[in-house]
């Protein structure tokens, strides 16, 4: 489910859960553990996926079978994963190696840097389209990245973007011309950051990211019960079942 590749002092964690790196509890547990381990031994971290697919987001076909108590645990775990990324003491770069809708780009929102390849790849927070509502912590992280008005338009419409649109609004930071070059470019960004005077860099990084970290201090931002209530609403269950049926036909 997760591969580890070291580029000198930079640790790459590659999502490896075929066919689409869908996020389920086991993958979340492994990623949280690997991030915590890497933060104590590596100087920077790169999170990547397979060529053409970073991650399709939450594993809805698996999660739709869960009962309410299980979904409460899943959402707590998902938010814990986001917090782990936000609180990393070392720089993190997301090498978004392909498609990254919904939970894929949500995960990357909490890192330091995001790069995607040029091409017919998509990203965006399309939760509304499948009957879901993001937690406040995700909304605020998105607004921090792209601005409040743009975040509003993206979330309300559940809009999916191509890579050029994502770059234009600042959802991602850079496009790589060659899909195979995304990881190398992410590693290079880490190397450039690590080449700066270390104390000044780490102190400034901690300062400018403190607002992101503080989002997790307020339980109201996490909206765990609200998310699960929406998940089990009649309209959301119908939309999620339709999504699963479409996925099964592919």
Q: Mind listing the pLDDT tens digit for each residue in 99-141?
A: 999 999 999 999 999 999 999 999 999 999 988 999 999 999 9
Count: domains in the chain: 1
Please give the model's pTM, rounded to 2 decimal places. 0.95
Look up the CATH number of the domain holding residue 73.
3.90.226.10
Q: Mind listing the pLDDT tens digit for each residue in 56-90?
A: 999 999 999 999 999 999 999 999 999 999 999 99
Secondary structure (3-state) at 57:
coil
pLDDT of residue 156: 97
| CB contact set of 122 (below 8 Å; sequence gap of 6+) | 99, 100, 101, 160, 161, 162, 163
Helices (H), the chain: 25-41, 60-63, 68-86, 103-109, 136-146, 148-157, 163-168, 182-194, 198-208, 210-214, 224-231, 234-249
pLDDT of 249 over the 80 cut: no
Q: pLDDT exceeding 90 applies to what percent of the chain?
A: 93
Domain span including residue 107: 2-199+207-249
pLDDT of 250 over the 80 cut: no
């Amino acid at each position: 489910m997760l591969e580890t590749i070291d580029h000198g002092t930079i640790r790459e964690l590659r999502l490896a859960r075929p066919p689409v790196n869908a996020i389920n509890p086991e993958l979340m547990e492994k990623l949280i553990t690997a991030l915590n381990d890497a933060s104590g031994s590596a100087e920077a971290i790169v999170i990547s996926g397979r060529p053409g697919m970073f991650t399709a987001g939450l594993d809805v076909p698996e999660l739709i079978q869960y009962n309410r108590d299980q979904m409460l645990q899943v959402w707590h775990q998902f938010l814990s994963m986001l917090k782990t990324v936000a609180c990393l003491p070392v720089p993190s770069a997301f090498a978004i190696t392909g498609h990254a809708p919904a939970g894929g780009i949500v995960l990357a929102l909490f890192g330091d840097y995001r790069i995607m390849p040029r091409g017919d790849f998509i990203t965006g927070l399309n939760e509304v389209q499948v009957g879901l509502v993001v937690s406040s912590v995700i909304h605020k992280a998105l607004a921090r990245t792209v601005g409040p008005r743009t975040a509003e338009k993206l979330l309300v419409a559940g809009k999916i973007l191509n890579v050029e649109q994502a770059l234009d609004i600042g959802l991602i930071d850079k496009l790589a011309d060659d899909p195979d070059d995304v990881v190398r470019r992410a590693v290079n960004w880490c190397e450039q950051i690590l080449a700066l005077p270390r104390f000044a860099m780490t102190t400034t990084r901690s300062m400018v990211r403190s607002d992101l970290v503080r989002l997790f201090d307020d339980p109201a931002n996490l909206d765990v019960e609200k998310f699960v209530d929406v998940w089990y609403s009649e309209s959301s269950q119908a939309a999620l079942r339709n999504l699963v049926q479409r996925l099964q036909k592919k």
